C-alpha cells in the first residue's frame, strides 16, 4: 500500500525582497493553505498582509493554493515583494497638522487638525478630556493667547508645534459685601480694645 505523503512536512524558503533582501525558512505540511502560510509569515515579521504579495516561479500565489497544488518541493523559495503604494497629493486646503498641548512640563496630548480649522474645537476637546473649565483655561502659542477663531495657518504653525495652557481663573475673588464685612469686623474689634 502506498504511503500517504499529504501530511509530510517540507521546508520552504521565503525571500523578502526590498532594499535589504532577507531569507527566512519555515516548515509546513504539504497540504497547508497559503492563507495560513502568508498569515504566519506576516505575523512573524510584523508585516501587514495587504502590503506584500507572494510569488512562486514568477506567478502570484493565491490564498487557496497549497504547497502540493503548486508542486513546491522541499527547500524551494517563495518570493515576497512589498506592494507598490501610490502617494496621493493632498491639496493645501486639506492639509492636516499635528499639534501638542502641554499637560505638564513632561507630558503632552497630540491633536491632528486641519490647517484651516479654527482652534476653538481643539481647545474645547482638550478641556473636555481634562475636565477643565474652558472659561478658566488659556492657550498660548509663542507666548501669545490663542483666540477661538485663530487657525494653525493664521498663526504660521508647523507640524509638531506646542501649545501651552495657563490657568486664567486667578486668585479667588470676594464680593464687595464680604470685603466690607471683614473690614467692618476688623474695625469693630479694634475699637473694643
Give residue 166's pLDDT.
87
Tens of pLDDT, residues 24-47: 888 888 888 888 888 888 888 888
Domains of the chain: 9-82 (3.10.20.90), 92-167 (3.10.20.90)
pLDDT(161) > 90: yes
Cell of 30: 504539504
Give residue 44's pLDDT.
80
pLDDT(141) > 60: yes
Residues 6+ apart with CB under 8 A from 145: 138, 139
DSSP state at residue 54 = E
Give residue 162's pLDDT.
93
Query: 91 pLDDT band (50/70/90 cuts)?
Result: very low
Alpha-carbon gap, residue 174 to 39, rounded angstroms: 68
pLDDT(118) > 80: yes
Give residue 171's pLDDT.
53
Tens of pLDDT, residues 43-68: 888 888 888 888 888 888 888 888 88
Instruction: For the chain, give the number of residues.
Output: 193
Give residue 52's pLDDT.
83
Tens of pLDDT, residues 92-114: 445 889 999 988 777 888 899 99
Query: Higher confidence at residue 88 or residue 94?
Result: 94
Compute the average pLDDT of residues 182-186: 48
If DSSP codes are grouped into helix, strand and coil, which group holds residue 177?
Answer: helix
Amino acid at each position: 500500500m502506498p504511503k500517504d505523503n499529504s501530511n509530510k512536512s517540507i521546508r520552504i524558503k521565503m525571500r523578502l525582497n526590498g532594499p535589504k533582501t532577507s531569507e527566512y525558512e519555515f516548515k509546513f505540511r504539504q497540504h497547508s493553505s497559503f492563507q495560513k502560510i502568508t498569515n504566519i509569515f506576516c505575523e512573524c515579521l510584523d508585516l501587514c498582509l495587504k502590503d506584500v504579495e507572494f510569488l512562486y516561479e514568477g506567478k502570484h500565489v493565491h490564498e487557496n493554493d497549497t504547497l502540493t497544488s503548486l508542486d513546491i518541493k522541499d527547500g524551494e523559495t517563495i518570493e515576497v515583494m512589498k506592494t507598490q503604494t501610490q502617494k496621493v497629493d493632498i491639496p493645501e486646503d486639506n492639509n492636516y497638522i499635528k499639534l501638542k498641548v502641554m499637560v505638564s512640563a513632561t507630558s503632552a496630548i497630540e491633536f491632528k487638525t486641519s490647517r484651516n480649522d479654527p482652534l476653538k474645537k481643539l481647545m474645547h476637546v482638550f478641556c473636555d478630556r481634562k475636565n477643565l473649565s474652558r472659561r478658566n483655561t488659556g492657550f498660548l502659542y509663542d507666548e501669545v493667547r490663542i483666540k477661538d477663531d485663530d487657525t494653525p495657518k493664521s498663526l504660521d504653525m508647523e507640524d509638531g508645534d506646542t501649545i501651552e495652557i495657563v490657568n486664567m481663573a486667578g486668585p479667588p475673588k470676594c464680593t464687595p459685601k464680604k470685603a466690607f464685612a471683614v473690614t467692618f469686623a476688623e474695625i469693630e474689634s479694634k475699637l473694643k480694645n
